[in-house]
């Protein structure tokens, strides 16, 4: 089958012939119709996670998929041939920039009936990240005050909608050209990061979710109320994450050091900082699909590329400036 893979970190993403996936007893084989493109794909290609995620090279990239079930393992009970599904492939089983992918049944859900394949493929990673940050970790509900950075991006555009659906007062940062659009999407306050400082305008929030990192995350620590949360999805990772993925003690110590100063500052401010590395979860995706079909969440597509132009799709994501997600599709 055709696939797009890297042979080395910081190397070219190129088309290659790859072996068709082996379908285990608990796996669903999906014929890929569309695949979402994520910052995580860029970071993996650059080798940013090679100390933590030990992938064998060559590596087929791609985490998000929407497609049709072509085969099921002997123990699969929830899916049948011909089902239209979507998923975020689990770590170490990625590879949606290909014609076929085998995914664990527990990581798959029926795609939203109201969404096209392209729309469904845009959702899994960003929607699961938003769900796990807002619902699982922060318990956002009616009256919560939430700041979501980068509201016009792939993650932010879904997180803003989900936070609003949960009943929160939602603030977000974006360029001035996106202010009115984000208000239509559900944001109550939109801070133009080019001309305004969010940390001078906002305080007393329950949750801040940051996907930018660096100085932006450090400034974000002044926004939550004492006892509030700052959740980083771009890093730096914390010791809990290092334990969760089973790193050895030396690596756990090194990973903890990356966020030590940030965590100390957060504690002085009475803020809980944690790093979120989202996980694949088919049950949560089913709940997300229901919200899409109910009209509470709307996929936001920035640009669509044909499969043959997958490297250009990754370049477009890296260049930035798009609303919503970049998606590659197997059909014109």
Percent of the chain with pLDDT over 90: 89
Using only C-alpha atoms, what is the Rg of the chain? 19
pLDDT tens digits, residue range 79-120? 999 999 999 999 999 999 999 999 999 999 999 999 999 999
Tokens of 21: 């996936």
Above 70 in pLDDT, residue 77? yes
Task: Domain 125-275: state its class.
Answer: alpha beta
pLDDT tens digits, residue range 187-209? 999 999 999 999 999 999 999 99
Crossing angle of helices 124-131 and 154-165, in 10° steps, is 40
Inter-residue contact 306 to 34 (CB < 8 Å) = no
pLDDT tens digits, residue range 30-50? 999 999 999 999 999 999 988
Q: Is the peptide bond before 58 cis (omega within 30 degrees of 0)?
A: yes
Predicted local distance difference test score (pLDDT) of residue 143: 96
Inter-residue contact 187 to 209 (CB < 8 Å) = no
Tokens of 38: 């994520």
Cα separation, 104 vs 167, whole angstroms: 33
DSSP 77: -
Identify the residue with better confidence: 242 or 166.
166
Above 60 in pLDDT, residue 212? yes
CA nearest 157: which of 190, 132, 135?
Answer: 190
**CATH fold group of domain 2-123+299-329:** Quinone Oxidoreductase; Chain A, domain 1 (3.90.180)
**Average pLDDT, integer, range 56-75:** 97
Tokens of 300: 């936001």
- CB neighbour class for 219 (10 Å; exposed up to 12, middle 13-18, buried from 19): middle
Cα separation, 113 vs 123, whole angstroms: 14
Above 70 in pLDDT, residue 251? yes
Q: Is 279 helix (H, G, I), strand (E, B) or coil?
A: coil
Q: Is 173 helix (H, G, I), strand (E, B) or coil?
A: strand
Sequence-distant (≥ 6) Cβ neighbours of residue 279 within 8 angstroms: 90, 91, 128, 132
pTM attached to this predicted model: 0.96
**Average pLDDT, integer, range 2-17:** 96
Write down the domain spans for the chain: 2-123+299-329, 125-275
Predicted local distance difference test score (pLDDT) of residue 332: 56
Cα separation, 186 vs 180, whole angstroms: 10
């Amino acid at each position: 089958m055709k696939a797009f893979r890297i042979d080395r970190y910081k190397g070219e993403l190129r088309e290659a012939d790859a072996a068709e996936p082996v379908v285990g007893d608990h796996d669903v084989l999906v014929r890929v119709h569309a695949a979402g493109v994520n910052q995580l794909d860029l970071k993996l290609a650059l080798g940013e996670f090679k100390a933590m995620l030990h992938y064998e090279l060559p590596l087929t990239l791609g985490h998000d998929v929407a497609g049709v079930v072509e085969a099921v393992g002997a123990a699969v009970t929830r899916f049948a041939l011909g089902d239209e599904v979507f998923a975020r492939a689990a770590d170490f089983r990625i590879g949606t920039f290909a014609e076929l992918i085998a995914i664990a049944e527990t990581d798959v859900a029926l795609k939203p009936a109201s969404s096209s394949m392209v729309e469904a493929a845009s959702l899994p990673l960003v929607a699961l990240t938003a769900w796990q940050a807002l619902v699982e970790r922060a318990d956002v509900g009616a009256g919560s005050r939430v700041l979501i950075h980068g509201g016009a991006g792939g993650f932010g555009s879904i997180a803003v909608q989900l936070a609003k659906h949960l009943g929160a007062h939602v603030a977000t940062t974006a360029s001035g050209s996106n202010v009115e659009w984000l208000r239509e999407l559900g944001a109550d306050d939109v801070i133009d990061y080019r001309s305004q400082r969010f940390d001078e305008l906002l305080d007393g929030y329950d949750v801040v979710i940051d996907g930018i990192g660096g100085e932006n995350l450090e400034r974000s620590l002044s926004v939550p109320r004492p006892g509030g949360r700052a959740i980083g999805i771009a890093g730096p990772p914390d010791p809990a994450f290092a334990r969760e993925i089973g790193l050895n003690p030396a690596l756990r110590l090194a990973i903890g050091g990356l966020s030590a100063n940030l965590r100390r500052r957060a504690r002085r401010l009475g803020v809980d900082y944690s790093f979120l590395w989202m996980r694949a979860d088919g049950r949560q995706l089913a709940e997300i699909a229901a919200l899409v079909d109910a009209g509470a969440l709307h996929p936001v597509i920035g640009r669509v590329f044909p499969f043959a132009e997958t490297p250009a799709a990754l370049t477009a994501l890296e260049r930035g400036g798009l609303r919503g997600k970049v998606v590659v599709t197997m059909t014109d």
